[in-house]
Amino acid sequence: MQLDSIISSIEASRQGMIDDMVEMIRIPAIGPFNGGKGEGERADQVMKYLAGFDSVERVDVPDDCDPTVMRPNILARKNGRGKGTVWIVSHLDTVLPGDLSQWDSPPFEPRVDGDRIYGLGTEDNGQAVIASIYGARFFESGSLSKMSIGLAFVADEETKSLMGIGHLIDAGYFSEDDFILVPDWGVPGGTMVEVAEKHLLWVKVAVKGKQTHGSTPQKGINAFRVSAQLLSDLMFRLAVRYYEEDPLFRPPISTFEPTKTVATVPSVNVIPAYHEFTMDCRILPRYDPDEVMGFIRKVAGEHAARSGADIDVEVEQVTFSGAPSATDTPEFAAFMDSVRAVVDGEVEVTGVGGGTCANFFRVKGMNAYVWECGGGTLHQPNEHVLISNMITDAKVYANLFYRLCV
């Protein structure tokens, strides 16, 4: 089996990729938490695309909001004679379409226009579903003398992944001998490979003071004033305390950004009794988010004591990131060679703010890598995928399978 003929077969599959994408995108795949019926019917459709695999296993997990809904995961394999599997992991579910008036054509009626296919879930993550299928399709089963080829199509990525990749990892479907690629982030042109993520920490700070007239602030406690002073103190002291840089990441530092806040009072002459704000913190893996939380609580305590206000600090969400994935393994070198063989330009290794399915592997001590040719329309109205990106991605996967499996 020659790589050249596999690449030619992929190049000749443009219309097949379009047809498969269009049929798949017509079927909504929104989780029950967001008011949908799950990915079941879309998974049934994807299983029709998996002819020629040695095994296709379906792992249905009952939904935690609505146990009558099963959340489907599919594992398709072409068996190799060596140890380990090269996995490409993509997700079946989508977010909600949002404001329909912002879509030029209905999100579940895919529209092909030149190099683009419009529709909800085309880029996120239909691109990876279709490209991985075509990347694997032309490898004859029985011809793999090294690693196995594995495609995983998972549920529940857009909420918590507990019924998707989290479930599969806990159930032991992956091993340390595997090479794991998660194509759910990328830059246009495909020149960046993500090997690390920051911790994510979302903090809500609520300040309770005492309302009074605008002319007599001494009779109340201005929650907005206390909040503003606390926030400015936090921004300064967090940046000083967690100052270290890691050039792998863009940006190379931990970031602590104020994001949401609430309205205070409807009148200019009223001292507000309540204010709250949230911070979106993306913290380098070398620091401990629990320690950062402790420091934020300590600073808030100082401001509460100083002002007499009640200050409540709450974690809205925290995601611990695993250690960066190894870049000195022969498998990773083969992957980099595969990307370089197909895309133009310098290919770089990078860390990002988080969070993809790859982190679920990293926190269990496994290596996982994130790469695709990015488009940048995900979670937006008029989401679309570039057909040329699907073809490029499929060629990179074929190169990778060829190097590690044949």
Instruction: Find, among 311, 324, 339, the residue nearest to 403 by Cα.
Output: 339
In the bound state with Zn ion, the residue whose beta carbon lies nearer, of 126 and 135, is 126
Q: Is 265 exposed, middle or buried (0-12, 13-18, 19+ CB in 10 A)?
A: middle
Task: Determine the interface stretch with Zn ion among 120-128, 197-205, 331-339, 357-365 (rule: CB under 5 A).
Answer: 120-128
**99 is known as an active-site residue:** no
CB 319 within 8 A of CB 198: no
**Of residues 315-354, those binding Zn ion (CB under 5 A):** none
Residues within window 10-69 making contact with Zn ion, judged by CB under 5 A: none
For the beta sheet containing 310-319, the strands, ordered from the edge strand earlier in sequence to the opposite edge, are: 255-261, 274-283, 199-208, 310-319
Told to check if 197 binds Zn ion by CB under 5 A, we report no
Q: By C-beta, is 178 or 184 nearer to Zn ion?
A: 184
Of these residues, 157, 194, 331, 393, which one is catalytic? 157
CB of 285 to Zn ion, least distance (A): 22
Considering the complex, state which of residue 122 and residue 307 has its C-beta at the smaller distance from Zn ion.
Answer: 122
* CA–CA separation, 403 and 397 (whole Å): 10
Residues 124-163 that bind Zn ion (CB under 5 A): 124-125
Cβ neighbours around 216 below 10 Å, total: 9
Q: Which of 39, 123, 156, 184 binds Zn ion (CB under 5 A)?
A: 184
Tell me the C-alpha distance between 396 and 181, whole Å: 11
| Binding segment toward Zn ion, per CB under 5 A, in 126-134, 178-186, 189-197, 336-344 | 178-186
What is the closest distance, in whole angstroms, from the C-beta atom of residue 157 to Zn ion in the complex? 6
93 tagged catalytic: yes
Q: Minimum distance from CB of 374 to Zn ion (Å)?
A: 11
Least Å from the CB of residue 182 to Zn ion: 9
Per-residue burial over 345-382, b = 16 or more CB atoms within 10 Å of its CB, e = otherwise = eebebbbbbbbbbbbbbbeeebbbbbbbbbbebbeebe
Backbone dihedral angles phi then psi of residue 389, each to the nearest 5 degrees: -65, -40
Query: How many residues lie near Zn ion (CB under 5 A)?
Result: 3
Which of 20, 93, 158, 331 is catalytic? The answer is: 93
Longest Cα separation, the chain: 84
- Which residues are known catalytic residues? 93, 157
Binding site for Zn ion (CB under 5 A): 124-125, 184
